Amino acid sequence: MYTNKQIWHVSFPILLSLLAQNIINVTDTAFLGRVSEVALGASAMGGLFYICIFTVAFGFSTGSQIVIARRNGEKKYAEVGPVMIQGAMFLLIMASLLFAFSRLFGGNIMHLLVSSETIFNATMEYIHWRVFGFFFAFINVMFRAFYIGTTRTKVLIINAIVMAITNVILDYILIFGKFGFPELGIKGAAIASVIAEASSIVFFLIYTYITVDLKKYGLNRFRSFNSALLMRILNISSFTMLQYFLSMATWFAFFAAVERIGQRELAIANIVRSIYIVMMVSVSSLSTAANSLVSNTIGSGDINHVIPLIKKIARFSFLIMMILVIVVVVFPKAILSIYTNEAALIAESVPSVYVISGAMLIASVSNILFSGISGTGNTRSALMLETITLTIYMLYVFIVGVWLHAPVEICFTTEVLYYSLVLLASYFYFKKAKWQNKKI
């Protein structure tokens, strides 16, 4: 079974890479928070629109990562590269189709979800430029799947640093119009993010060519389209694609409900969301590691070690989150001041920060267990559990957000409900389901 040191060896680079990537989110929110509340709210809605579509690619790459990790565990290294190549070809086609969809129907979708004309116009200005990122981000996730699936995660740190530095510099230049560039505001944030994603793919291409044994992993020659292999990947990935999309779509719906409460509430939700995402970095990295290590463990035939492995990672995750929650609860105003210097906005955001902190303690365990389900290859069950959970989540969002127009901190109790349901569902899966012999 994997030791704590080995788990940390895989997950720590993922953690640092996610932390560096989240500098992009924090920077966008912090800079736009000093532009206007409209820019802050619009970037939340536009960003969530982008992420909703991006999760389709991320879900595919997660399924691909499970397959890559299984082949890596079986020591069938030459079968790893074809999975990545077919996945990249498929996602490039998907990027083109979803780019066209966003350009044609993005405005119609946002009109249904955003009630304020001012926020709608700013959101569409952001989306118009942001969707160019599909062509880069969709390929980047396949490189990520390859390196995580083969447990070569250190490269993710360097890649994320390249992205973060590029984005921070360009955000400052383009949002505020420095060094002779025009002041672009929210449009500048979108353009900076796209260029940062482009810099990431350039880095991955160069690094892979220089450091990876291309022949060993079957990456030394370009392969024609292989529909049979793609269907095998989709047999795993299709469920994670839909799962991630549904999960993010409901998060999008949450923000749409908050937007109807008020512009100030939407600004609060975006700030708290940024803190939420940063706090989730440790959980996300350990969840990704759990997914890959569970699949590698099953591939190597050590099925009896799966549950102890998941428990070990879950304890690790909870301990890290407990430390983070203590810091956030003790110094909420200092953390909120990173995003805005408006005293009233900071004060009104504090209750939501407390609610999210409680939700994160539950998430630190529930997400590890849930990722373990996908790691077993049973992505169909993971989708089913997620769908049931999200149905209850959406009902609760409608009641507190749309029907009751409750304060934003009450709306955030949806996260407590969601992660509690995921925890219970995942626990019963490993107790009752037959997951040990899933073939992929």
Q: What is the model's pLDDT at position 438?
A: 57
Q: What is the model's pLDDT at position 422?
A: 92
Query: Which is it for the CA torsion 154, 155, 156, 161, positive or negative?
Result: positive
In sequence order, what are the residues at sequence separation of 6 or more whose Cβ sits closer than 8 angstroms to the Cβ of residue 75?
A: none
Q: What is the model's pLDDT at position 440?
A: 55
Q: What is the pLDDT of residues 228-262, one digit of tens each?
A: 888 888 888 888 788 888 887 887 788 778 878 88
Distance CA 396, CA 406 (A): 11
pTM value surpassing 0.85: no
- Between 414 and 261, name the one with better pLDDT: 414
- Between 245 and 29, name the one with better pLDDT: 245
Instruction: Dig out the tokens for 111 from the structure.
Output: 């009109």
- Between 354 and 305, name the one with better pLDDT: 354
Q: What is the pLDDT of residues 311-343, one digit of tens each?
A: 999 999 999 999 999 999 999 999 999 887 888
How large is the average pLDDT for residues 399-420? 90
Q: What is the model's pLDDT at position 330?
A: 95
Q: What is the pLDDT of residues 100-116, one digit of tens each?
A: 999 999 999 888 878 88
Q: What is the model's pLDDT at position 190?
A: 92
Q: What is the pLDDT of residues 58-80, one digit of tens each?
A: 889 888 888 888 888 888 888 88
Q: What is the model's pLDDT at position 18?
A: 67
pLDDT at 358 over 70: yes
